[in-house]
Each structure stands twice: as structure tokens, then as C-alpha cells.
Amino acid sequence: MICKQDRKLAIYHILIAYLAFLIGTFLGLLQVFIRNDGLELPKWLDYYQVLTAHGVLLALVFTTYFIFAFFITGMSKTLGDFGPKARLVLWLGFLVTTIGTVIATFMIIIGEASVLYTFYAPLQANGWYYVGLALFIVGTWLSGFALVGHYVSWKKSNRKQLSPLFAFMTISTIILWKIACLGVVATVLFQFIPWAFGWVDTINVELSRSLFWYFGHPLVYFWLLPAYMAWYLVIPKLVGVEVFSDSLARLAFILFILFSIPVGFHHQLVDPGISSFWKFLQTSLTFMVIIPSLMTAFSLFGTFERSGRRKGGRGLFGWFFKLPWKDVRFTSIFIAMFFFIPGGAGGIINASFQLNELIHNTLWVVGHFHITVGTPVTMTFMGITFWLIPYLTGRKLTKTIQKLAFIQIITWSIGMVLMSTAQHILGLLGAPRRTAYSAYNNHPTAMEWFNGLISNHITMAIGGTILFFSAMLLIFIVIYSLFLLPKADSLGDRVEFPIAMSDNKDTPKFLENWWLWIGISFALIAIAYTIPLMDLIQHAPPGSKGFKMW
């Protein structure tokens, strides 16, 4: 059991994560009804205001707070309690991130920042929205430094040893995050803030988009890597085998750092101002990420098979039936991984030049990220939540709550299959994303989009409603686990932190040579970005003034 002060830190992070989840999913429910014309918002509430809050609260706030809760607990568990200094910095990070969140959310609520979570220029929000975002990032940096500091002091007293896999993966994720944030910090501090407060008149739009996506793509890996940590470390523990391969896992995480940053242009394939050579180079680097992804899939299936065979499973698929399906901690993560198969395949489509033309800015994209971040990542976090909260509050996980947890993940899966499939199909037919009800004055072509069995007007709304029900069930489980589950008194019925240990005797030491990997990472970034960014600055068209479209 980790110490009380560290538990408190983690619990505060979880509280904010789920507060954001509660509001964010409610807004999602509104969106599906507005989009099928089932609901009209009151005059004082704008569709884009709702959508901005949905994106910010779920994709940024929920994920980030949950990830830090997981990291804090796991680092305290594997490397020992935080010292007073690291703990202080963690609280400071929490405070600054939260102040940033409050400022940004407040600006959205008062209708001063309906610019969506990607805040593309020349849409212009109130300057304080960008200040809020900047503080959010600074806060996460502080927390990140505290985790790195804790790791460094562990290393000092365990010289020559490789760190435990959990710590290694946490540090990889933090490194990725810090390098990625450089882009968004640069554009927010030097472009958006001066422009939004009126110190300068215009903004270089394409540069700001490029700096945003330099950050935006690795952002998705910042969500994904913590989920992978559960896949690599929690799954083996739950199925009762050792980690498949310590070196493979470390190498995969390093490759994620290397190949998830110099690739942002794949979000800008239709943007002018970037020559196709650079788009091509970054797209090629994007596809490199398939390597660590398939390494991950390989070692997961290896883990499943090992476990199943050890329990007597025979034949090609016999092991499958020996997996611990009745354990919701396992099944939740398994379903999450399953969603990632079409999710990843869709990602390859999005990143392909020609296919991107077809799906760009359509509902397809919305369908895509709800079966990547919205389910593989989010449902893994749900699976972690089921044991993390009882672990932190020292309570027992009862049968009833486990049953509810099953209903929760199953409804989420059904809702997501309905909503996301409808979105994929509607997108292929041409329905745009980021619009309220849009049937183009009942134009026949637009009306045709909605003729399908799955792609009709109501599938998305039915899916969204089931999802919202599932989300509220989760909130109930969270509150119940925080306050109402029976206290565990004897050691026997304490919920544990299910984390597998790995054998790192044969793991090459250079895998933990961070400076080497950070160096290679910056080299790749320099190759992919220096010339096109210089072009964007030197040959910039006249800048744009701000627009407020709402």
C-alpha cells in the first residue's frame, strides 16, 4: 500500500477527471440530438460552445488528470513514496493545471471561446482562454518534473540497475509530452496571446496550425501510452503470467517517442503553404508507428496465449476460452484493445494522401477518434478505475459493483459501435463534422446520406444516448467506490495494484539511455520541420486579423 499523502494526490486527480467526464459526456448527449434536429439549443447557448467544452473537457482535461492519477500511484508503488519535495511540486502542478482548466472553462461558459479544442486561427477567443491553456500545460510540466525527479533519485540510489518497467514507461510518456508541448507553448505564447490581447494585429495562420499539429499528434500518444502501460503490465498480472518481453516493451515505447512527433503534417494534408515533399516525408514517418504498434499487439497476443495454454487451453484458439473473462478488470481492457483494431486501421486510412481527401473534415473523423481515444483509451481508463479507486481508498470491490461495471462497459461498447459506425458511414457519404444540424435545406443529396440502416438520422442519437447512460453508470461506480464501498480491514480482501514484474536481466542497458533517444528524437524533428517552418515564416502571406464567428 502506498502512503496516505500520495493516495490523496491521486484521488484529487481522479475527482477532477471524473467531474470533467460528467460534464463532457452530457454535452456529447446534447450534440447527438442537435445534430439530428431533435433538439434546439436556447439562444444563450451555442453549438460551438458546447462542442468546444466537449473536446476540451474530455480530450484534454479528463485524460490528463486521469493519466497523472495513474502515474502518481504507480510511481509511488514501484519506486517508493514520494519525498516531500516531489510531493510539493506535484501539488503545485495540480494547482496550476487546475487554475488553467478553470480559466479556460470559464471563458467557454461565458461564450468568449467557442473556437473548439484545436483553437485554429483565425478564429479568435478571449486572450484569457489561451492563458488558461498555457497554465494547463505549465501545470502538467511541473507534475512531470516531479515524476522525473522521483525517478532520478531512485536511479541515484540504485545505480547500474534498470528501472522497473512502469517507471520506464512513465518517464517515456513524460518525455514525449514535454517535447510535444514545445510546439503548442510556442504558438500560444508567441502567436495567440499577443494577437488575442491586441498587442499585434495579425497572426500567421499556417504557422500556428503547424505548431499546433506538431503538438496535436503526439498528444494522442500521450493518451495512448498510459493505456498501453496497462496493456503491457496489468494484463499479464491479471492473466497470471510474466511480462512477455521487457526489452521489447522498452523498445516499443522508445519508438513511440521517435515516431510520434515529426509527423504533424499528416493532419494538414489539404493545407496550402507546405510543399508536398514535406507532407510526404512526414506521412512516411507516420507509417513507421505501425512497427511499435504491431510489436505491442504481438506481445499482447503472446501474453494471452501463454496464459491460456498454461491453463490447459489446446488447439489454435483453445487458449482464448481460458482467459479470465469474468474479471471485469481484464474484460474491460480486452474490449478496449479490440476497438483499437478498426481504430488503428482507420488511422492508416486517414494518414494516406488520397484517402484523406475523401474523409477530411467529415463525420468519419469523429467516428475514428471515438474508437481510438473515446474507447480504447477511455475504456482502459475505466478498467483501471474499477480497481484504482478501491485501491486508493482501501475498500473492497463488491460483487454488485463488479456486475454494474460489466453493464457499464458493455453499454459503452454497444453505444460506441452504433454511434461510431453511423459516423464513419455518414462521413464517407459526405456529412461534415463540426456542424449542428446540416441537411442543406433538405437537399436531396444530403437527405440520401441518412437512408441507410445504420446511417440514418437516429442511429447516432441512439448510440449517444446509450453512451450517456453508460457514462452516468460509471460516475455512480466512481462515487460509490470513493465513499460507499465497505472498508477492507484484513490484508486479504484489499484490492491490489495489479502490476506484473518483468525480468530485465537481459535487457540492453542502452535502452535506458535517455539522452540518446532525446537526441535522435530532436534530430528527426529537425529534419522533418526545420525547412518547412522556415518557409512558413520567411514566405508568409499577410497575417490574418481575428474572427469571431459566433
Query: Which of 13, 87, 217, 424 does the annotation list as catalytic?
Result: 217
Residue owning grid cell 512513465: 170
433 binds ligand HEM, rule: CB under 6 A: yes
DSSP 8-state assignment for residue 56:
I
CB 337 within 8 A of CB 371: no
CB 230 within 8 A of CB 298: no
Mark whether 433 is an active-site residue.
yes
217 binds Cu ion, rule: CB under 5 A: yes
Nearer of residues 311 and 434 to ligand HEM, judged by Cβ: 434
Q: What binding mask, one character per residue, do residues 57-76 give for ligand HEM by CB under 6 A, x or -?
A: -xx--xx-------------
Whole-angstrom distance, CA of residue 133 vs CA of residue 43? 27
Mark whether 266 is an active-site residue.
no
Whole-angstrom distance, CA of residue 44 vs CA of residue 25? 20
**Closest residue to bound Cu ion by CB:** 217
- In the list ligand HEM, Cu ion, none, the entry touching 366 (Cβ below 5 to 8 angstroms by class) is ligand HEM
Question: What minimum distance in Å lies between the beta carbon of 217 and Cu ion?
Answer: 4
Whole-angstrom distance, CA of residue 399 vs CA of residue 495? 13
Whole-angstrom distance, CA of residue 263 vs CA of residue 253? 17
Size of the site for ligand HEM (CB under 6 A): 28
424 binds Cu ion, rule: CB under 5 A: no
Query: Which of 7, 13, 266, 368 does the annotation list as catalytic?
Result: 368
CA distances to 379, 389, 468 from 395, in Å = 22, 8, 27
209 binds Cu ion, rule: CB under 5 A: no
Binding test (CB under 6 A) with ligand HEM, winner from 9, 51, 90, 220: 51
Amino acid, single-letter form, for residue 446: A
16 binds ligand HEM, rule: CB under 6 A: no
Q: Which stretch binds Cu ion (CB under 5 A): 112-120, 213-221, 315-323, 398-406?
A: 213-221
Whole-angstrom distance, CA of residue 82 vs CA of residue 5? 9
Mark whether 369 is an active-site residue.
yes
CB 392 within 8 A of CB 334: no
Query: Which of 306, 309, 434, 494 does the annotation list as catalytic?
Result: 434
**What cell does 451 get?**
437512408
Binding test (CB under 6 A) with ligand HEM, winner from 20, 471, 511, 524: 471
Question: What minimum distance in Å lies between the beta carbon of 279 and Cu ion?
Answer: 13
**What cell does 345 get?**
486501421
Whole-angstrom distance, CA of residue 276 vs CA of residue 283? 10
- In the list Cu ion, ligand HEM, none, the entry touching 217 (Cβ below 5 to 8 angstroms by class) is Cu ion
- Give me the phi and psi of 189, to 5 degrees please: -70, -45
Mark whether 395 is an active-site residue.
no
Query: Which of 250, 266, 329, 370 does the annotation list as catalytic?
Result: 370
Query: Which of 12, 68, 256, 369 does the annotation list as catalytic?
Result: 369
Residues that bind Cu ion (CB under 5 A): 217
The catalytic residues are 217, 221, 368-370, 433-434
